[in-house]
Structure 1
């Protein structure tokens, strides 16, 4: 039986990196004490402010990576580090997630591929995340051989189902969706989007989220774990906290043998085309 406990951290990150990292550390320690072997964090885990450039760090090598690397080694856990702003030769940083193994090593990182760019008609608001963030160009999964085959994404990515199907076809059985989702869209879209990604791919979905009032919006929260059948098996209340859930990778195989969405695709009629850089 391939079972383990996953911890999911929910935070109200603000502009003080030191304070945010202190809170993250406390929650990581709490989840590890509950037996978590994989601990997952939200988007913008170390910094949420008006200017993303104020939170830029190197990956690896920056203070956030160093802190999480030390914790992974000390606690003997896998860390999925939500996301931070990674230094880039472009003027715009990457929105970057990291996977750190129990030896404190960076084993994978992913750059958010889909910036949140919205222009509403009739004088509505305009949001251009691509003005602040450089989009990534690589789909990333990592087979940990201990806590599942992880598919990496960040926030707005979850609206693009083709990304998750490609990761599932590459072998992912856990889809990680850290987010800083707005209240306005979250109240209607958060649950159905995450459930759909789980059901259509026969995967666990782990979605750590931000709560609280941010410089640009109110965050929705509702961090959760969804199983491959689409059941919410753990959900956070509206506060800074961690939750835990049992992940049963044998259950992934069981569900996929009941719902054959990966096998029943019509690859003779349609295909997913992508650049495989791995």
Structure 2
């Protein structure tokens, strides 16, 4: 095996709270643990630096990208460790906007930002047991899908609720992505029902690896997240899985499996564009005897 076809991925599972400083410390400790375990690429979950449901408190705490202390700390850490560090997402102020970005960052081993992605799909839903979410009230939806090159292949960026929109993942795969990412803070309800099925489906239908670092447990702001960070191979097999507690999982990635899966079932090659027709229905006519 050459370095270009094999690498190790590390996923950091967190239970992010309401103190940015405490979250930076917790994330950094787990990132170091993943790097020590041999990870060349490390991913953290959605909302790595702060988990706050109260909009006023959130707006009073966060800053723009240039002044964000968490981002600076993670860039320095990625450079120190010499790894590709993917901060799944953080809340970032958008200058001149009333809403903020739910933005992920791909940091290269020299500490530079290789890619930025703003979550496209907003989680505006009413769940059972009175659980309700309106992300669009606080967050500005992104409009651009993002893929970036790593030494081992191309990586496509997504965040949490994006997982339910398969067209995004197909578009990333058609753009050459070998690895699809879903850093998340899935709710306990939706995670228990759909997390494993959706992640395996995205891998199978695109012939891609899927890396999904998750939040897990009961957070300071009261929300409950599902955990179970997953690494899934292009055939839909789970290579590594976390539980519900904070921690790290690692997995060896053989990039040749992407070509093997796509050759066996060439769905990207065989896919066709089509239109949808709604023909008029001819009413039944009465027939006399």
SS at 2:264 equivalent: coil
Give the structure with higher Rg (CA): 2
Q: How does 1:150-165 map to 2 (within 5 A)?
A: 150-165=155-170
Q: How does 1:261-272 map to 2 (within 5 A)?
A: 261-267=267-273, 269=274
Find the counterpart in structure 1 of residue 99 from structure 2.
Answer: 92
Pair 1:137 & 2:140 matched: no
Pair 1:253 & 2:259 matched: yes
In the alignment, which of 123, 135, 149 is matched to residue 154 of structure 2?
Answer: 149
In the alignment, which of 25, 29, 32 is matched to residue 28 of structure 2?
Answer: 25
1:61: Cα distance to partner? 4.3
Q: How does 1:176-215 map to 2 (within 5 A)?
A: 176-214=181-219, 215=221
- Structure 2 CA distance, aligned partners of 1:178 and 1:57? 21
Pair 1:104 & 2:111 matched: yes
1:56: Cα distance to partner? 2.0
Find the counterpart in structure 2 of residue 238 from structure 1.
Answer: 244
Q: How many residues align?
A: 268
Find the counterpart in structure 2 of residue 64 from structure 1.
Answer: 70
SS at 1:102 equivalent: coil
1:125: Cα distance to partner? 5.3
- Structure 1 CA distance, aligned partners of 2:104 and 2:188? 23
SS at 1:142 equivalent: strand
- Structure 2 CA distance, aligned partners of 1:203 and 1:45? 25
Q: Residues 69-110 of structure 1: CA distance to partner in whole angstroms, max 9, x if unpaired?
A: 111111100000011011112111100000000000011100
RMSD of aligned alpha carbons = 1.8
The answer on whether the counterparts of 1:55 and 1:84 sit within 8 Å (CA) in structure 2 is no
The answer on whether the counterparts of 1:55 and 1:85 sit within 8 Å (CA) in structure 2 is no
Gapped regions of structure 2 (runs ≥ 5): 277-289
1:50: Cα distance to partner? 2.1
1:202: Cα distance to partner? 0.4
SS at 1:251 equivalent: helix
- Structure 2 CA distance, aligned partners of 1:131 and 1:81? 23
- Structure 2 CA distance, aligned partners of 1:124 and 1:235? 30
- Structure 1 CA distance, aligned partners of 2:178 and 2:33? 25
Pair 1:227 & 2:233 matched: yes
Find the counterpart in structure 2 of residue 275 from structure 1.
Answer: none
- Structure 1 CA distance, aligned partners of 2:159 and 2:116? 11
Between 57-66 and 233-242, the greater mean CA deviation after superposition: 57-66
1:238: Cα distance to partner? 2.0
SS at 2:142 equivalent: coil
Gapped regions of structure 1 (runs ≥ 5): 272-278
SS at 1:72 equivalent: helix
Q: Residues 209-228 of structure 1: CA distance to partner in whole angstroms, max 9, x if unpaired?
A: 00121325211000010000
- Structure 2 CA distance, aligned partners of 1:5 and 1:187? 27
- Structure 2 CA distance, aligned partners of 1:60 and 1:264? 44
Runs (4 or more) in structure 1 with deviation over 4 Å come to 123-126
The answer on whether the counterparts of 1:38 and 1:147 sit within 8 Å (CA) in structure 2 is no
1:3: Cα distance to partner? 0.3
1:65: Cα distance to partner? 1.3
